[in-house]
Structure 1
Amino acid sequence: MGINCCTNKNLIQVNQKGKHLVVDIHCHLNVPAADKIVQEKYPGPPPGIHEFSNDKSNEVNRAQFCEIGATLNNINLRLKDMDKLGIDVQVISPNPGQYFYYTDPETGLAASQTINNGIADAVASNPERFVGMGTVPMQDIDLAITEMRRCASELNLRGIEISTNVNGKDLHDEVLQPFFAEAEALGILLFIHPLGFTHAHRMKEYYFNNLIGNPLESTLAVSHLIFGGVLDRYPGLKICVAHGGGYIPGYWGRMDHGWRARADCSEHCQHLPSSYLRKLWFDTLVFDKEQLASLVRTHGSDRLCLGSDYPFDMAEPDPVAFHDELDEADKAKVMGLNAAELLGIEVKL
C-alpha cells in the first residue's frame, strides 16, 4: 500500500508499512542558520524565554537541548526513530522557539525564509517520509502573506505554523485578519502551536509555563478565534491546534452558557461556541488514553490527528500504541487518514 501527497500537482510516493497509515502531524525541526541571522542583530536569548521559568527548569532545558540537539537540528537520526515508532510520515514544522516575531520585519523575513528553505530541503532529501510546514514573520502581515504564498507555490509546504499570539496581539486582532483571509484563499493549513503563556508570573516553578501555560495559550487562541468572529468571517480556514486543543475541548459548556446568557459574549460570534470546535482539527497529544477517548467522544474521530511533539521531552513516547484502545475505524482516521485529507495526501491501494 502507498500514498501520494498531492499539492500543486507534485506527487510524492510513500510506502505504508503497517495496517494503518501513520502520519505524525506534530514534529519539529530547528534550522541553526536562522538563529545565526537573528543573533547577529539580537544577541542573547529571545525576550521572555527565561522570564517565567526558574533556575531548575532552565537547567533541565539546557540538558534536554544537549541531548536532542542532533535530532532537532537535522534529519539524519529521524528515520531510525520513525521506523522504531512505526511512523510512516512526519509532518515537520519549525521549532516554536524560531518564530522570531520580536525582531524587525526584515530580520524576521530573512529568518523565516531560511527556516522554510531548510524545511523544504529536509523534505526533498526524503520526500517519501517527510511533509513540511513553514513559518512567516507575523509582525508584518504583508510580508507574512508574501512568504506564505512562497511556501505554498514554490516550496510545496503544506501548512504554516503560527503562535497563539503575535507580540501580545490576540488572533482576532484586526491587523491579523488579512493573513487569515489569504490562508483561507490558499487553502493552506494553519498549525497553531503555543510557546508558553505570556503572563505566567505564577508559573515559574515546576515547568508550569509549559505544563499549564501551553494548553492555556491554545485555549485563549481558539477562544479569540471563536468569540472574535474570525471563524465566521473565514469559514474555510483549515486550522489544527496542538496539544489536543488545550483545555477548551474539555470545558466548552461554560462558554456556551456565557454565549446564551450575555450580550458581550455573543456580540461577534454567530453560533454556539462549541459548534466551532467541530470545524477545527486537534492533535492527540494529551498523554492519557481516557482523555483521548473523551476527545473522540465529544469532538469526533474525523477531526483528530496523531501528534507526538517529536523530538522534545514533552513528546508522547509511543504515539502508535497510545491509540491502541480506539476501535479500528476511529484508529485509521486518527492515526493517518485525517492528516492525509488535511494535507492533501491521497491513499492508494
Structure 2
Amino acid sequence: MTSTIRSGPIDVHAHWLPEDLFGLPPGSPVPPLNGRDGQLHLGDLPLSIQTAAMSDPARVLADTDAAGLGARVISAPPFAFPVADAPGVDDYVGAFNDELAKVCRDSAGRLLGLGLVSLHDPDAARKQIEAMASTGVVRGIAVPPLLGHTSFDVAPMRDVLAIAAENDAAVLVHPMQLPRPEWSSYYLTNLIGNPVETATAAASLVLGGVLEELPSLRICMLHGGGCAPALVGRWQHGWSQRADVRSARTRSPREGFAGLWFDTLTHDGPALDLLRAHADPGRLMCGSDYPFDMGIALPLDLPHSVGIDDAALEDNARRFLGLDEGENRV
C-alpha cells in the first residue's frame, strides 16, 4: 500500500497522543497526562503545552500549515513509550497505532505516522510492525534510545531494529529525559540529559556493529544527534587506539556516523554546521519537536540559515520514510 503525501518539506519530528491514551502505557515510570484549563500536565507538572496541540488533529494540521510545511510525521511523545515489561502493553500499543493510522488517513496527505512497538517482546513487535506496514500511512516506529541500562547494540532493542529493517520500516530515536540527581535543577534533565541519551544510542549503533549487520536500516537520531557530532573525533581516536572500542569489528566511527539519519533541530547554526561536517547531507531532515517547549514553531528557518533548501529536506525525508520517488504528491 502506498501513501499520497502533500508536496513540500516534511517535518519528521512531531508528537501526537489522543486524549483517551493520556493514561500512558502500563507500568509507566511517570504519572498520567491530563489537561487542565486547556494546558497539558504530566501528573501535577505543567508542560507548557496546550492540550489541543498534543491531541487534536485539526490543531496539528493548522499548525503544520502555519509552519510552511508540506506534511508532518507524528509519533508518540516519549513518556508514552512502553518502557516497562508489563501486562497490557500490547493493548496500549495496538490502540495507539490504530488511532494513529486513522488520523493519518484522514489528513488529506498532510500527516504520516511512526507507531509504537512492545519493546521487550520482539515477537509482538514483529506483528505490530507488519500491521503498520499494511496501512501505508504509518511508515515505521519511534523508540527510546535506552531501555533500562541498555541500548541498540544488545537484545531486545537490537532485535527490534532487525525486524524494522526486514520490513523496510523507518526508525526514529527520541530521548526519554531520564532523571539523574546531578541534573535536578535548571531543566538539565532535558538540556544535558536528552543530548547525552541520544549520543549514547548513536555510539551503540556506530561501535556496536548494528549498522554493519543491518545495512538497510534507516534510523534517525533527533535533536541533531544530541552531543554526538562533537564526539565523533573522540570516538575515532579511541577506535584507532583501543581494541575494546573496535571489539565489534566495525568500520571507523566517521564512516559509521555517516550511516545515520538526523533532524536539523540543533537550535543553533554553528551546531548544525558541525553536524553537517560529519553527517551524510542526504540524511538531514527537518525536525520541529512540535508541540514541546523545546521545539520551534518555524522549523525550516534553521536549515535555511545554513543553506539547506526545501527540496533537499523533502527528498531526504521521503527516502527516510520509504516513499517511492514516483509516488503521488498532492
Contact 1:190–1:238 (8 Å) recurs in 2: yes
Give, in whole Å, the separation in 2 of the partners of 1:136 and 1:220: 21
- The size of the alignment, in residue pairs, is 319
Q: CA deviation at 1:320?
A: 1.8
1:228–1:118 Cα change, 3 Å: same
Q: Which moved more, 1:27-36 or 1:276-285?
A: 27-36
Structure 2 match to 1:231: 211
Could you tell me how far 1:240 is from its partner in structure 2? 0.7
1:179 positional shift: 2.0
- Match for 1:173 among 146, 154, 163? 154
Shift of 1:324: 2.4
Partner residue, 2:122: 141
Is 2:145 the counterpart of 1:190?
no
Report what 1:205 is aligned to: 185
Q: Tell me how far apart the structure 2 counterparts of residues 334 and 201 of structure 1 sit (CA, whole Å).
A: 41
Q: Which one-letter code corresponds to 1:85 in the other structure?
A: A
Does the alignment pair 1:285 with 2:272? no
Kept in 2: contact 1:159–1:188 (CA 8 A): yes
Normalised to the residue count of structure 1, the TM-score between the two structures is 0.84
Are the counterparts in 2 of residues 163 and 194 from structure 1 also a CA contact under 8 Å? yes
Cα displacement string for residues 42-61 of structure 1 (whole angstroms, at most 9, x for unaligned residues): 5xxx32679xxxxxxx9998
For residues 44 and 282 of structure 2, the distance between their equivalents in structure 1, rounded to whole angstroms, comes to 35
Of the three residues 309, 313, 316, the one matched with 1:335 is: 313
Q: Deviations over 1:307-343 (max 9, x none)?
A: 000011110232122222233xx32354321001211
- Residues 301 and 149 of structure 1: is their aligned pair in 2 closer, same or farther, counting only changes over 3 Å? same
Q: Give secondary structure in 2 for the equivalent of 1:170.
A: coil
Superimposed CA distance per residue, residues 275-332 of structure 1 (whole angstroms, 9 cap, x where no aligned partner): 11111100011011222223223324211000000011110232122222233xx323
* Separation of aligned partners in 2, 1:176 and 1:298: 25
Deviations 1:106-155 (A, max 9, x none): 41111111111111111011131111110101022211121111111246
- Choose between structure 1 and 2: higher helix proportion: 1
Contact conserved, 2:195 with 2:225, CA < 8 A, in 1?
yes
Say if 2:15 and 2:290, in contact at 8 Å, map to a contact too.
yes
| Matched letter for residue 344 of structure 1 | G
Indicate whether 1:306 and 2:298 are aligned: no
Partner residue of 1:252 out of 213, 232, 235: 232
CA distance in 2, matches of 1:164, 1:61: 26
Q: In 2, distance between residues paired with 1:61 and 1:256? A: 44
Distance 1:218 1:190, change over 3 A: same
The unaligned stretches of length 5 or more in structure 2 are 33-40
Shift of 1:201: 1.7
Contact kept? 2:224, 2:264, Cα under 8 Å = yes
What TM-score do you get using the length of structure 2 for normalisation? 0.89
Alignment correspondent of 1:5: none
1:13 to 1:235, Cα distance in 2 relative to 1, 3 A: closer
**Secondary structure of 2:112 counterpart:** strand
Shift in alpha-carbon separation, 1:259–1:133, aligned structure 2, 3 A:
same
Superposed CA deviations along residues 192-244 of structure 1, whole A, max 9, x for unmatched, are: 1111136x221011111111101100100111122221112112111011111
Cα distance 1:332–1:35, how it changes in 2: closer, same or farther (>3 A)?
A: closer
What per-residue deviation string (whole Å, max 9, x for no partner) do you get for residues 22-46 of structure 1?
Answer: 11000000133334474xx65xxx3
Q: Does 2:128 correspond to 1:128? A: no
Partner of 1:95: 77
**Aligned pair in 2 of structure 1 residues 129, 154: CA closer, same or farther (>3 Å)?**
closer
CA distance in 2, matches of 1:206, 1:223: 27
Structure 1, gaps ≥5 residues long: 1-7, 51-57
Match in the other structure for 2:35: none
SS at match of 2:118: coil
Candidates 243, 246, 266, aligned match of 1:263: 243
Judge conservation of contact 1:117–1:155 (CA < 8 Å) in 2. no
Using a 3 Å threshold, how does the CA distance of structure 1 residues 203 and 92 change in structure 2: closer, same or farther? same
**Equivalent residues of 1:320, 1:335 under 8 A apart:** no
1:59 and 1:132 mapped to 2: Cα distance?
23
The 8 Å contact of residues 170 and 322 in structure 2, kept in 1 or not, is answered as no
Judge conservation of contact 2:119–2:156 (CA < 8 Å) in 1.
no
* 155 and 108 in structure 1: CA distance in 2 versus 1, 3 angstrom threshold: farther
- Find 1:221's aligned residue among 197, 201, 219: 201
In 2, Cα distance between the equivalents of 1:315 and 1:37? 22
SS state at 1:235 partner: coil
Task: Give the conservation status (yes or no) of the 8 Å contact 1:37–1:110.
Answer: no
Is 1:62 matched up with 2:45? yes
- Tell me the residue number matched to 1:326: 306
Read off the aligned partner of 2:13 and give its amino acid letter: H
Residue type of the alignment partner of 2:4: I
Identical residues among aligned pairs (%): 28
Matches of 1:257 and 1:286 in 2, distance apart?
Answer: 25
